[in-house]
Structure 1
């Protein structure tokens, strides 16, 4: 009950009631953006995961492709063997090598994208 001398109640509202609210930035992303120690740890873990993947794919390709000259050195019959009228070394070096490189690249890209998606999901939740 207001008396005639008391001030009238006024409702104060923002003139920008229809303005969109700022999106809430997940803590993990903020940590990375602000380059805090925790953000550095997050980035270090991502880089380590990518490095492990890279080294694994390179090691696999080196073992497979490096085994070709070893095959020719250890099994002399492979040097003179023919496949469809072409020497086996030519077939292996000219045809078989490319699918091996392609598969290694596909494996790398698929796993790199998976690592990044998992990292993004993890950081987004924090």
Structure 2
């Protein structure tokens, strides 16, 4: 009986299928490892920092107006189109200001999420 020797197979490192970087990063996220947790915390921190900055803009922009009117009564006594300036600023112009801040928040937070997605899906 002659036993056949198994044929030698040459293995080349490039021929071994390896998970791509994207798959590895997705695995880190789905399995909630330390790396995935750090990536998600980075995204949350970026969005929280954006929210805090824009909250400060609103607080200074709208909260500073009553302070301005108290400190400078001459400004509070001004009339524009027959309406006192404080009523005009706080009653009418506050809404476009808040809309612009909201638009900026959505735009910038979407950009942060897009950057996060690009980081995760980067080859």
Larger Cα Rg: Structure 1 or Structure 2? 1
1:66 aligned partner: 63
Q: Any idea what SS the aligned residue of 1:69 has? A: helix
Asked if residue 84 in structure 1 is aligned to residue 74 in structure 2, the reply is: no
Residue of 11, 19, 30 corresponding to 2:27: 30
Over residues 6-60 of structure 1, what are the superposed CA-to-partner deviations in whole Å (9 max), with x where a residue is unaligned?
A: xxxxxxxxxxxxxxxxxx7622111110111111111111111111111011011
Native 8 Å contact 1:82 1:88 kept in 2: yes
Report deviation, 1:78: 2.1
Native 8 Å contact 1:57 1:108 kept in 2: yes
RMSD of aligned C-alpha atoms? 1.4
CA distance in 1 between partners of 2:76 and 2:38 (Å): 52
Report deviation, 1:94: 1.1
CA distance in 2 between partners of 1:55 and 1:43 (Å): 18
Q: Using structure 2 for the length normalisation, give the TM-score.
A: 0.79
Asked if residue 96 in structure 1 is aligned to residue 93 in structure 2, the reply is: yes
CA distance in 1 between partners of 2:53 and 2:87 (Å): 28
Show structure 1 runs of 4+ deviating over 3 A: none
How many aligned positions are there?
103
Native 8 Å contact 1:26 1:125 kept in 2: no
List gaps (5 residues or longer) in structure 2: 1-19
Over residues 93-119 of structure 1, what are the superposed CA-to-partner deviations in whole Å (9 max), with x where a residue is unaligned?
A: 111111110111011000000000000
